[in-house]
Amino acid sequence: MSDSNDLKRTVARAALSHVIPGELLGVGTGSTANHFIDLLAAESISIAGAIASSEASATRLRGHGIPVLTLDEALASGRRIPVYVDGADEIDPGLNLIKGGGGALTREKIVAAASDCFVCIADESKCVDSLGRFPLPVEIIPMALGLVSRELVRMGGIPALREGFITDNGNFILDVSGLHVFDPVAFESELDHLAGVVTNGLFARRKADIALVSSADGVRSLRV
Ligand code: 5RP
């Protein structure tokens, strides 16, 4: 029986085959992404540079000697970012995601939007029939804490401030439980329109293109 850490490492290894040597690479955040970074370094796959979705991932990449570019540097170079590899907290059958358990959702959404192909890596515990069991992370401007919390309650959610956590962008995270996500694209947009919301953790407008999912039986590659 594989434990969760083994499954994360196994799926991270499977993602290496999606890396295009000599090209830029978007790199996500979290424990599965950390395995991916470590394996990328261990396998000495040479890339033009990584665009990291968090300070933590940038530090880890640099620690392995992998060059890190800002997104603006990458875009100014005129190069594409053909692949973005990142984990998820939930994956539905349409490859819509909930992300942000590590609090990096805003930069993750930015790097995903800038990339041609989003390869999501996760163990099978992340697969759900419909999104919403995992409390939805919402990054908010600190002064809007009360206002956004009130609106989220009005929408049927139970928001909880992630205590002692400040995002890389200097903001707060509300983890919102009790939400039923019937239409991920519409709900993502509705949440983003609340004044004070920076980003929410629904990745439906820009969902994964490929999900690699590990289980004791191996790694499945899912596309829609
Ligand atoms: C960070 C994320 C992560 O990808 C997500 O939380 C999954 O993390 P892990 O790989 O540690 O299970 O969205 O903001």
Select the CATH number that applies to the domain covering 136-201 from these four: 3.30.70.260, 1.10.1200.10, 3.30.60.50, 3.40.50.1000.
3.30.70.260
Give the amino acid at 199.
T
Nearest Cα neighbor of 198 from 126, 141, 148 is 141
The domain segmentation of the chain, as residue ranges, is 4-128+205-222, 136-201
Mean local confidence (pLDDT), 193-218? 98
Task: Identify the pLDDT of residue 217.
Answer: 97
Q: Which structure tokens are listed for 173?
A: 């995270």
Mean local confidence (pLDDT), 72-90? 97
Instruction: Give the whole-angstrom CA distance, residue 22 versus residue 15.
Output: 16
Task: Identify the pLDDT of residue 17.
Answer: 98
User: How far is ligand 1, taken at its centre, from the CA of residue 124, in Å?
Assistant: 14
Instruction: Give the whole-angstrom CA distance, residue 78 versus residue 80.
Output: 7
User: How far is ligand 1, taken at its centre, from the CA of residue 170, in Å?
Assistant: 19
Mean local confidence (pLDDT), 104-117? 98
Mean local confidence (pLDDT), 16-30? 98
Nearest Cα neighbor of 201 from 102, 58, 129, 120 is 102
Pocket test residue of 35, 55, 85, 99 for ligand 1, highest count of atoms within 8 A of CB: 99
| Atom 4, ligand 1: residue with shortest CA distance | 87
Atom of ligand 1 nearest to the CA of 105: 14
Task: Identify the pLDDT of residue 154.
Answer: 97
Nearest Cα neighbor of 144 from 154, 152, 132, 134 is 152
Mean local confidence (pLDDT), 70-85? 97
| Atom 2, ligand 1: residue with shortest CA distance | 100
| Atom 1, ligand 1: residue with shortest CA distance | 102
Classified as helix, coil or strand, 185 is: helix
Instruction: Give the whole-angstrom CA distance, residue 45 versus residue 66.
Output: 10
The domain made up of 4-128+205-222 is a member of CATH 3.40.50.1360: yes
Task: Identify the pLDDT of residue 49.
Answer: 98
Tell me if 152 sits within 8 A of 176, measured CB to CB: yes
Give the amino acid at 203.
F
Confidence bin at 2 (pLDDT 50/70/90): low
- Give the sign of the dihedral formed by CA 64, CA 70, CA 71, CA 75: negative
- Lining ligand 1 with CB less than 6 A are 28-33, 86-89, 99-105, 108
Pocket test residue of 29, 175, 200 for ligand 1, highest count of atoms within 8 A of CB: 29
121-169, pLDDT tens digit by residue? 999 999 999 999 999 999 999 999 999 999 999 999 999 999 999 999 9
User: How far is ligand 1, taken at its centre, from the CA of residue 109, in Å?
Assistant: 13
pLDDT of 116 over the 50 cut = yes
CA 177 to chain centre: 19
Percent pLDDT > 90 in the chain is 98
Which residues contact residue 14 at a Cβ distance below 8 angstroms, ignoring those fewer than 6 apart? 121, 212, 214, 219, 221
Mean local confidence (pLDDT), 156-184? 97
Task: Identify the pLDDT of residue 180.
Answer: 87
User: How far is ligand 1, taken at its centre, from the CA of residue 86, in Å?
Assistant: 8
pLDDT of 1 over the 50 cut = no
Give the amino acid at 216.
A
34-74, pLDDT tens digit by residue? 999 999 999 999 999 999 999 999 999 999 999 999 999 99
pLDDT of 75 over the 60 cut = yes
User: How far is ligand 1, taken at its centre, from the CA of residue 149, in Å?
Assistant: 23
**Helical ranges in the chain per DSSP H:** 4-15, 31-42, 55-63, 71-76, 105-114, 145-154, 184-192
Pocket test residue of 3, 7, 31 for ligand 1, highest count of atoms within 8 A of CB: 31
Instruction: Give the whole-angstrom CA distance, residue 122 versus residue 54.
Output: 18
Catalytic residues: 108
